[in-house]
């Protein structure tokens, strides 16, 4: 793991980094493609590239570095083909999703629809909410998720943080860090 002070355990550091990634992506507005970030030691990055020192927060143990576009439209397929080098302590993925109310989620999970019908159902559901999800993981298994629900004229924007928001996605990200 990156050089972290005793008061900055991975469980404390990672949510901060996940929020930083979400804020960075949010600055670009909505309707963006998924974005992948490598999480590297800030101290190591400054040591290797001192010209970046004035652009980085030396007090932050980890720095997210945006990567090239994913090689596939299928996130699962794209992540399955990624292996990070040891210098990468973790990674984060930001993607836009549709959030449905619990009863609609149950209907989708019943398995009565094929993928195309499920996508259409979610896109057309009158109570759907657009959201941006950031899932972040570290090699030690620490996970963090941040979900920003897009505001509407009737409903204000909302930020939700919980490590269990996207267990399948965090598992897929953790797999990219395995040797």
User: 29-77: per-residue pLDDT in tens?
Assistant: 999 999 999 999 999 999 999 998 899 988 889 999 999 998 888 999 9
* Burial of residue 20 (number of CB atoms within 10 Å: 0-12, 13-18, 19+): buried
**Percent of the chain at pLDDT above 70?**
94
Three-state secondary structure call for residue 78: helix
Structure tokens at 89: 């302590």
68: Cβ–Cβ under 8 A, 6 or more apart, which residues?
A: none
The confidence score (pLDDT) of residue 116 equals 83
> Is 45:58 a contact under the CB 8 Å cutoff?
no
Lowest mean pLDDT among 18-32, 71-85, 128-142: 71-85
> Is 165:135 a contact under the CB 8 Å cutoff?
yes
Q: What angle do CA 23, 171, 102 make, to 5 degrees?
A: 75
Measured CA to CA, the distance from residue 90 to residue 140 in angstroms comes to 9
The confidence score (pLDDT) of residue 10 equals 64
Residues 124-137: what's their mean pLDDT?
92
Please state the domain extents for the chain.
Answer: 10-176
Supply the pTM of this predicted model.
Answer: 0.86
137: Cβ–Cβ under 8 A, 6 or more apart, which residues?
A: 14, 90, 91, 92, 143, 144, 170, 173, 174, 177
């Amino acid at each position: 793991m990156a050089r972290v002070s005793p008061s900055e355990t991975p469980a404390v550091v990672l949510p901060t980094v996940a929020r930083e990634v979400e804020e960075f992506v949010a600055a670009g507005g909505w309707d963006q493609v998924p974005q992948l970030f490598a999480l590297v030691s800030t101290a190591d990055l400054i040591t290797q590239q001192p010209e970046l020192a004035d652009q980085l927060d030396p007090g932050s143990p980890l720095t997210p570095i945006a990567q090239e576009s994913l090689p596939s439209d299928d996130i699962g397929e794209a992540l399955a083909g990624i292996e990070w080098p040891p210098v990468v302590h973790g990674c984060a993925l930001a993607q836009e999703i549709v959030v449905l109310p619990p009863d609609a989620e149950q209907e989708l999970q019943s398995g009565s629809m094929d993928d195309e019908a499920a996508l259409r159902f979610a896109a057309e559901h009158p109570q759907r909410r657009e959201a941006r999800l950031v899932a972040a993981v570290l090699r030690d298994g620490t996970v963090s998720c941040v979900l920003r629900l897009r505001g509407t004229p009737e409903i204000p924007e909302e930020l939700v943080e919980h490590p269990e928001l996207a267990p399948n996605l965090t598992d897929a990200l953790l797999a990219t860090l395995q040797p």
